[in-house]
């Protein structure tokens, strides 16, 4: 009774989310809230380095689909329909085409990455809570797919890695996005950094379980403080992913262990936007002139997203 918290960290987190997210998400918040509190669904990121020819067919028989190629096909069909409407000369067609051009411009990094990369990630349909089987090794011992939150692929697709790009994953552990970056087959060199040595060990395990030795030779794993990266190799990367530490809303709302809303971590939580800003600045300074930086979080908080970018 003396040591147990009066209010669980998960309840504090949910109260905070209810207060802040209901303001900026409005009518969307109830459905987003339900999604946060539901059991987490995973996607299966296909490992292109393993012998996985049989895996897509196996997953499709279970009614799973590759959401990357599926999304691309839908957008292309929509654009073709808009183009036909424009050619026919209708006012509606021209309006749709103008909207389509805006959408294409806004989504071009995602689309071009989808076209040019080999990334495939299978998910079950909405409402289907089937679990993927555990990953299996091929003849060389490489696992056939990696289970991850499918939304974690979006920053990787947005980064739009091109052939022989030097890429920095500034906050890389535990390694899902690092592995996804390698799946593009385009990284000339990939620097994977994370300040946490224990989390970096997990990153090493993933690389050894999924990536052949000859590819791992083009990956450097370090444990620097990401805020100081410009002192290490400033201005050298074509693409930089800054996937920063954040309140990790789903975890905060559902799990007591290591919850950042615990009273002992109040100061750490309050300082997160400053840490995120410092990491983003370091990522920008790590990029070559004309390079590209993607900033991402797994939080809904505008303070940790729009405000940091602004």
Q: pLDDT per residue over 204-235, tens digit each?
A: 999 999 999 999 999 999 999 999 987 887 89
Q: Is residue 164 part of a domain?
A: yes
Q: Is residue 275 part of a domain?
A: yes
Q: Binning pLDDT at 50, 70 and 90, where does residue 101 land?
A: very low
> Is 121 an annotated catalytic residue?
no
Q: 202 with 179: CB under 8 angstroms?
A: no
In what order do the strands lie in the sheet containing 121-123? 65-66, 121-123, 43-46, 145-148
pLDDT in tens, 230-281: 788 789 999 999 999 999 999 999 999 999 999 999 999 999 999 999 999 9
pLDDT greater than 50 at residue 199: yes
Mean pLDDT for the chain?
A: 88
Rounded Cα gap, residues 96 and 83, in angstroms: 8
pLDDT in tens, 30-59: 999 999 999 888 999 999 999 988 999 999
Q: Is residue 186 part of a domain?
A: yes
Q: Binning pLDDT at 50, 70 and 90, where does residue 111 land?
A: low
Q: At what angle do helices 91-116 and 67-87 cross, to 10 degrees?
A: 150
Rounded Cα gap, residues 261 and 187, in angstroms: 37
Phi, psi of 293 (to 5 degrees): -125, 130
pTM of the model: 0.87
Q: Is residue 111 part of a domain?
A: no
Q: Is residue 5 part of a domain?
A: no
Domain count, the chain: 1
Q: Is residue 86 part of a domain?
A: no
Q: Which residues pair with 44 in a beta bridge?
A: 122, 147
Q: Is residue 163 part of a domain?
A: yes
pLDDT at 44: 97
Q: Which domain holds residue 159?
A: 35-80+116-308
Rounded Cα gap, residues 306 and 59, in angstroms: 37
Three-state secondary structure readout of 25-76: HHHHHHHHHHHHHCCCCCEEEECCCCCCCCHHHHHHHCCCEEHHHHHHHHHH
Q: Binning pLDDT at 50, 70 and 90, where does residue 99 land?
A: very low
Q: Which of 21, 86, 121, 298 is catalytic?
A: 298
Q: Which residues are annotated as part of the binding site?
A: 171-177, 194, 225, 243
Rounded Cα gap, residues 122 and 206, in angstroms: 19
Q: Which residues are annotated as part of the binding site for S-adenosyl-L-methionine?
A: 171-177, 194, 225, 243
Q: Supply the Cα-derived Rg of the chain in whole angstroms.
A: 21
Q: Is residue 109 part of a domain?
A: no
CATH number (domain holding residue 271): 3.40.50.150
């Amino acid at each position: 009774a003396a040591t147990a918290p009066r209010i669980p960290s998960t309840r504090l987190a949910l109260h905070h989310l209810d207060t802040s997210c209901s303001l900026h998400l409005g009518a969307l918040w109830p459905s987003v809230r339900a999604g946060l509190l539901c059991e987490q669904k995973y996607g299966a990121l296909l490992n292109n380095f393993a012998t996985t020819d049989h895996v897509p067919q196996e997953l499709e028989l279970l009614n799973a689909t590759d959401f990357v190629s599926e999304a691309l096909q839908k957008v292309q069909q929509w654009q073709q329909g808009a183009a036909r409407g424009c050619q026919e000369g209708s006012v509606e067609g021209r309006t749709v085409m103008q909207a389509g051009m805006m959408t294409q411009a806004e989504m071009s990094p995602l689309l071009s990455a989808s076209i040019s990369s080999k990334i495939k990630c299978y998910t079950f349909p909405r409402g289907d809570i089937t679990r993927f089987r555990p990953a299996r090794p091929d003849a060389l011992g490489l696992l056939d797919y990696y289970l991850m939150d499918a939304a974690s692929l979006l920053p990787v697709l947005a980064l739009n890695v091109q052939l022989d790009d030097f890429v920095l994953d500034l906050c890389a552990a535990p390694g899902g996005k690092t592995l996804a970056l390698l799946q593009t087959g385009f990284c000339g060199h990939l620097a994977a950094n994370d300040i946490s040595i224990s989390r970096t060990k997990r990153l090493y395990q993933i690389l050894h379980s999924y990536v052949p030795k000859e590819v791992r030779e083009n990956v450097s794993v370090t444990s620097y403080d990401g805020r100081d990266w410009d002192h290490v190799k400033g201005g050298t990367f074509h693409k930089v992913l800054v996937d920063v530490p954040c309140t990790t809303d789903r975890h905060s709302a559902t799990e007591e262990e290591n919850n950042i809303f615990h009273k002992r971590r109040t100061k750490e939580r309050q300082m997160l936007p400053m840490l995120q800003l410092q990491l983003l600045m370091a990522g920008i300074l790590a990029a070559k002139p004309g390079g590209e930086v993607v900033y991402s979080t797994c939080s809904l908080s505008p303070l940790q997203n729009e405000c940091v970018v602004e």
